[in-house]
Amino acid sequence: MRSRRKARAAAEKKPAALTLRLAVIAGLAFLHIPLLLILLYAFTTEEKSYQFPPPGLTAKWFAAVWERPDIWQAVGLSLKVAAISTVVALVLGTLASAALWRFNFFGRESVSLLLVLPIALPGIITGISLRSAFSLAEIPFSFWTIVLGHATFCVVVVYNNVIARFRRTSGSMLEASMDLGADGFQTFRHVLLPNIATALLAGGMLAFALSFDEVIVTTFTAGQQSTLPIWMLNELVRPRQRPVTNVVAVFIIAVTSLPILGAYYLTRRGEHIAGGSR
Amino acid sequence: MDIAVRFERVSRHFGEVRAVDDVSLEVRAGEFFAMLGPSGSGKTTCLRLIAGFERPSAGHIEIFGVQADRLPPFERDVNTVFQDYALFPHMNVIDNVCYGLMVRRVSRRERHGRGAEMLNLVRLEGLETRRPSQLSGGQRQRVALARALINQPKVLLLDEPLGALDLKLREEMQSELKTLQRSLGITFVFVTHDQGEALSMSDRVAVFNKGRIAQVDTPETIYARPATRFVADFVGHANIIEPASAQRLAGRAGTFALRPEKIRFAAGGAMPETGWAMTDGQVVAAQYHGSHTRYEIRLTDGLVLIAQRQNEAEPMAASADGRVRLAWRLDDMTPLGPDSEAPP
Amino acid sequence: MTALALEPMPRTSPLRRLSGVLYRHPHLLLLALLGPPILWLGVVYLGSLIALLLQSFFSIDEFSGVVNREFTLRTYGELAHPANLDIIGRTVMMAAAVTIAAAAIAFPIARYMALHATGRTKAVLYLLVMLPLWSSYLVRVYAWKLILAKEGIVTWVFDQLGLAWLLDGILAIPVIGGPSLSISYIGTFIVFVYIWLPFMILPIQAALERVPASLLEASADLGAKPRQTFRKVILPLAFPGVVAGSIFTFSLTLGDYIIPQIIGQSRIFIGQAVFIHQGTAGNIPLAAAFTVVPIVIMAIYLFGAKKLGAFDAL
């Protein structure tokens, strides 16, 4: 009797105590209620303050956002920066992970440390380093200086996802392909690429979300241009039309959440989304 | 006779480790050649050197007379069946089998025609659209075989291909592989750590030990005339008779191997004939194996011999207290050379 | 056997030839793979990082405001100025407080995820923790500006509960209080905890994930009460995870300058000091010296964490 009970307990996890459940619910509420509130505030009729509860609800702010060219410009810039940074990160991250997967070379540890450094160190250090380097080298701020900064911290996101997939890929598959007459490039196209495709997609989506949302490094590398988060930061410091900001905030949540959910579903078997901080 | 693969003083070192150490070797065209040895003996590295996955640190490799040292795997007329099969998980069976033709830009129609032929050959008709993950171990093995054979390689390399299969399937595949090799006339190089597999399937066997070849010969010779103590021990069972005992028992100098089944149980009063050795001993243990029984016999000087006897109708000539008289042909004692030791 | 002859291999293709060359010279392949990322990160990133650190050994001419490019430790001497020490001390204390609070909130969630939740629940919980980690840093900071505003939901809730006096009392506490929550250290603290919380949950969960159920069984089987199992088994096993998470919360708090700028008082943190010195003040050497502070603190922290085996939980 006793042994049967023990066997069952090992098969199922024990239900948690009530206090533990309450702590979990409270913690998760703490994480998510603020985001729901932003959604609510996007519909408020109150324009001058953050009054709660909102005196009335309206959808007119969505229309107001639609007609703001400055917002559209910022969205356009953010999308362009995120897209190009993602492409650069995909190329560099894949190359780096392939090198660290296939080769054992002197300084391998240092290289993997170098890859992680841009997100391991606080963003402000990356930002001010790049800014002072630009000024030393007399490079004027431009679209490309923003991309330079973003790609730098996006590389590691792609790298982490792709190398996790590589580690689960049997090396003999590459040998089999070469053995059957495929050269290195054919092997990449027909065997390697299909096997890492979802990891690339996941890494790319996360890199995109990270770049689209980045503000700390961008403030140092952007000059006069406004990405969407920079636009938002300016609104926070000097508010003009608060509900418009709320609508933009909802938009940012949506644009960054979708790729993250997508990346999760692409890698949920066996891999956690590999990454870290910003 | 054509030489399919020639190793000329080939070494492959990984840092300090000499995985393959100064190996010279010839595999003849059309033969079934086995590389036998314990894990870490260098047999798999030799196979990978032929395939081109490794490059020799020293020495030269020729494949059908062509120097192959600098040829990448994709330019060698050699194909491999991998131990883990290495099937492409994102392709179905027919695409896996036709991969070699696809990268050679053979048209899709011709590809699938020949792919079907290959699946026929390995008796996998009807599984064209399955994924590797939907196949049993034995089926995967056949797909790997068909995939390697479709390129019509001059040499087929097999890296412990039967290791992952259960006993019955393994025996089935052994005879199938053998038949296939005969009908195709392709040179097979077969790596295994299973001595039974090596003996039963191959025309010749190379026994590997510590990165070197201890002996290359036919299975019969390897078994009957092991060249070194290692070979005698690794292939089948052997009594190793040290010089002191050899001198006393047979009046011979040197170390010898004596197979258990070569030892006869003589009648109690039998006298030694010329060309025979004879000694008395005490049975200390007996293991019944169905077709035969294996006895441990302690000689008067303390040496323990293993003797094996077919289980036939006539009873064994042992006295009640287990004392026996053993006899064997002096010719059945095989002199053993020194085992190769890696130079310091 | 088929009688079809095999086509000759396409030896002529230049890619194929290149592939052969890379086979014969694997170092070229390694160079081709590693070159671009190393050039990018090594030159662009590491280069600017080193350039910045070098500038911390320059000084600024007090009268002309021009950077004097001669080696000196004077700028580091300025760090020891009481006002600057004040900034560093305040930031480190905030980072420590944030780390402790985040660990306290994160622990039950991580414990539940690792030791109790299964299947779908677990996946959903994982997503609920991961989404805020990856998304909308600025938006999530902004959300607290709404919440903590004087007319916002927190004040409303306290009013509804008839606890307005309590809120006023909290805000009246010297140093950490202020005119409203969004202009107080309490507010800054809450937002820091909120933003970095997922960074604490995931490493603890990863550490607890490795606790085999049989170990908890064994502990219970040997007669340990739940409280004892928790203290003697779960807590020690979770500890490396807590340390790993604290690396994030500590480092991120040390370097952040947006949160205290939006929610908080006029007295600044290290990140803001860096921002001000490099921007409006134009004192790059002092800004650079300030960035060295979190780097040094984190280096010490990481060294200690490594000794505690925290990296296995990352």
B224-240 tens-digit pLDDT:
999 998 999 899 888 98
Going by the DSSP 8-state scheme, the letter that residue A274 receives in this structure is P
In CATH, what is the architecture of B239-335?
Beta Barrel (2.40)
Q: How large is the greatest C-alpha to C-alpha distance in chain C, in angstroms? A: 96
The nearest CA of chain B is from the CA of A161 a distance in Å of 19
**Is-contact B259 B237, C-beta < 8 A?**
yes
The secondary structure element, H or E, covering residue B296 is: strand B292-299
Interface contact C10-B151, CB threshold 8 A: no
Give the pairing type, strands B3-14 and B58-63: antiparallel
A228: closest chain C residue by CA:
C138
For C237-258, the three-class secondary structure string (H helix, E strand, C coil) is HHHHHHHHHHHHHHHHHHHCCH
Q: Which residues of B touch A176 (CB under 8 A)?
A: 80, 82, 86-88, 147
CB-CB neighbors (< 8 A) of A97 in chain C: none
Could you tell me which chains touch chain A, where touching means 3 or more CB pairs under 8 A?
B, C
Which residues of chain C does B152 touch, with a Cβ-Cβ cutoff of 8 Å?
A: 2, 6
Please state, in angstroms and rounded to a whole number, the distance separating the CA atoms of residues B80 and B83.
9
Tell me, what's the pLDDT at B231?
92
Q: A239-244: long-range contacts (C-beta < 8 A, 24 or more apart)?
A: A241/A47, A241/A64, A242/A41, A242/A47, A242/A48, A242/A49, A242/A50, A243/A41, A243/A42, A243/A44, A243/A46, A243/A47, A243/A61, A243/A64, A244/A61, A244/A64, A244/A65, A244/A68, A244/A71
d(CA C291, CA B57): 50
Q: H or E stretch including B224?
A: helix B219-224
Exposure class string for B193-209: b at 16+ Cβ within 10 A, else e: bbbebbbebbebbbbbb
Q: Which residues of chain A have pLDDT under 70?
A: 1-16, 268-278
Strands B204-209 and B32-36 come out as parallel
> Which of B104, B117, B184 lies nearest to residue C7, judging by beta carbons?
B104
Residue (of B220, B218, B216) closest to B228 by Cα position: B216
Contact C16/B74, CB-based, under 8 Å? yes
Q: Longest C-alpha distance within chain A, in Å?
A: 80
* pLDDT for the residue numbered C11: 53
- Residue C283 in contact with residue C166, Cβ under 8 Å? no
Among B253, B252, B262, smallest CA distance to B305 is for B262
Q: CATH code at A74? A: 1.10.3720.10
Interface check for A126 against chain C (CB to CB < 8 A): the answer is yes
Q: Sort out which chain A residues have CB atoms less than 8 A from C47's CB and list them.
A: 133
Q: Do domains B3-230 and B239-335 have the same CATH topology?
A: no
Q: Which residues of B touch A175 (CB under 8 A)?
A: 51, 53, 73, 80, 82, 86
Are C1 and B105 within 8 A, CB to CB?
no
Query: Pick from B51, B83, B90: which is nearest to A179 by CB?
Result: B51
Distance from CA of B338 to the nearest CA of A (A): 37
What's the mean pLDDT in B249-264? 87
Contact between B82 and A186 using a beta-carbon 8 Å cutoff: no
C6 touching B (Cβ < 8 Å): yes
3-state percent breakdown (helix, strand, coil) of chain B, nearest 5: 30, 35, 40
Assess if residue A39 is contained within a domain: no
Between residues 9 and 28 of chain C, which touch chain A (CB distance below 8 Å)?
Answer: 9, 13, 15-16, 18-20, 22-23, 26
Tell me, yes or no, if A273 comes closer than 8 A to chain C by beta carbon: yes
Which of A50, A147, A148, A271 should one mutate to test binding to chain C, selecting the residue with the greatest count of C CBs within 10 A?
A50
C87 neighbors C269 (Cβ within 8 angstroms): yes
| Interface touch A191/B73, C-beta < 8 Å | no
Measured distance CA(A245)–CA(A236) in Å, rounded:
8
pLDDT at A5: 43
Number of other residues whose CB lies within 10 A of the CB of residue A78: 25
- Residue C10 contacts B, CB cutoff 8 Å: yes
Which residues on A lie below 8 Å from B87 (Cβ)?
A: 176
Give the mean model confidence (pLDDT) for residues B164-175.
83
In this prediction, residue B282 carries a pLDDT of 87
User: Per-residue pLDDT for B300 more than 50?
Assistant: yes
Distance (Å, rounded) from C-alpha A179 to C-alpha B99?
A: 11
Asked, for residue A43, whether it belongs to a domain, the answer is: no
Q: Is A174 exposed, middle or buried (0-12, 13-18, 19+ CB in 10 A)?
A: buried
Task: Provide the 8-state DSSP code for B239.
Answer: E
Sign of CA dihedral B136, B139, B144, B147: negative
Q: Domain locations in chain B?
A: 3-230, 239-335
For residue B202, the 8-state DSSP code is -
For residues B134-146, average pLDDT:
90
Query: pTM of the entire structure?
Result: 0.82
Instruction: Please say whether the dihedral angle defined by the alpha carbons of residues A16, A22, A25 and A28, taken in this order, is positive or negative.
Output: negative
Are B151 and A183 in contact (CB < 8 Å)? no
pLDDT given for residue A15 in this prediction: 66
Cα radius of gyration (chain C): 27
B12 to chain C, closest Cα gap in Å: 15
Contact indicator for A212, A252 with CB cutoff of 8 Å: yes
Amino acid code (one letter) for C156: W
Q: Does residue B344 surpass a pLDDT of 50?
A: no
Task: Determine the angle formed by the axes of helices C47-55 and C284-307, rounding to 10 degrees.
Answer: 120
B-contacting chains (≥3 CB pairs under 8 Å): A, C
Give helix C270-278 / helix C284-307 axis angle, nearest 10°: 150
The residue of B14, B54, B66, B105 whose CB has the most chain C CBs within 10 angstroms, and thus the best one to mutate to test that interface, is B105
pLDDT score of A275? 41
Q: Look at chain A and report how many structural domains it folds into.
A: 1
CA of A67 to nearest chain C CA: how many angstroms apart? 21
Q: Rounded CA gap, C48 and C288, in Å?
A: 11
Q: Do B86 and A175 touch (CB under 8 A)?
A: yes
Chain C, window 235-264: residues with a beta carbon less than 8 angstroms from a chain A beta carbon: 248, 251-252, 254-258, 261-262
Q: Which of B197, B215, B208 is nearest to B35 (CA)?
A: B208
Residue A261 belongs to what domain range? 64-269
Quickly count: other Cβ atoms within 10 Å of residue A241's Cβ: 15
Q: Minimal Cα–Cα distance from A90 to chain C, Å?
A: 11
Local confidence band at B207 (pLDDT 50, 70, 90 cut-offs): very high
Q: Is A218 inside any structural domain?
A: yes
- For the ranges B197-201, B295-299, C176-180, which has the lowest average pLDDT? C176-180
CB contact (8 A) between residue B51 and residue A175 = yes
Testing the interface with B: which of A172, A180, A193, A195 to mutate, by most B Cβ within 10 A? A180
Q: Does A18 touch chain C if contact means CB atoms closer than 8 Å?
A: no
Asked if residue A33 belongs to a domain, the reply is no
Q: Minimal Cα–Cα distance from C272 to chain A, Å? A: 9
Domain B3-230 in CATH 3.30.300.130? no
C138 touching chain A per CB within 8 A? yes
Determine the Cα–Cα distance for residues A157 and A68; give it in Å rounded to an integer. 33
Nearest-CA distance C2 → chain B (Å): 8
Burial class (CB in 10 A: 0-12, 13-18, 19+), C61: exposed
Distances (CA, A) of B72 to A178, B67, B80, B250, C235: 8, 12, 14, 55, 55
Strands B17-28 and B276-288: unpaired
- H helices then E strands: how many in chain C? 16, 2
**Structural contact between residues B159 and B82, judged by C-beta atoms closer than 8 angstroms:** yes
Q: Spell out, as residue ranges, where chain C has pLDDT lower than 50.
A: 1-7, 313-314
Cβ distance of B103 and A195 shorter than 8 Å: no
DSSP strand pairing (B323-329 vs B276-288): antiparallel
- Cβ–Cβ under 8 Å, residues A240 and A63: no
Question: How many interface pairs between A and C have CB atoms less than 8 angstroms apart?
Answer: 278
pLDDT in the model for residue C1: 39
Q: Cβ separation of B86 and A194 shorter than 8 Å? A: no
Residue closest to B273 by CA, chosen among B327, B335, B331, B325: B327
Residues of B in contact with A192 (CB under 8 A): none
| Contact yes or no for A180 and B89 at CB 8 A | no
Subunits touching C (CB < 8 Å, at least 3 pairs)?
A: A, B
What is residue B33's predicted lDDT score, i.e. its pLDDT? 94
CA–CA min distance B96, chain A (Å): 10
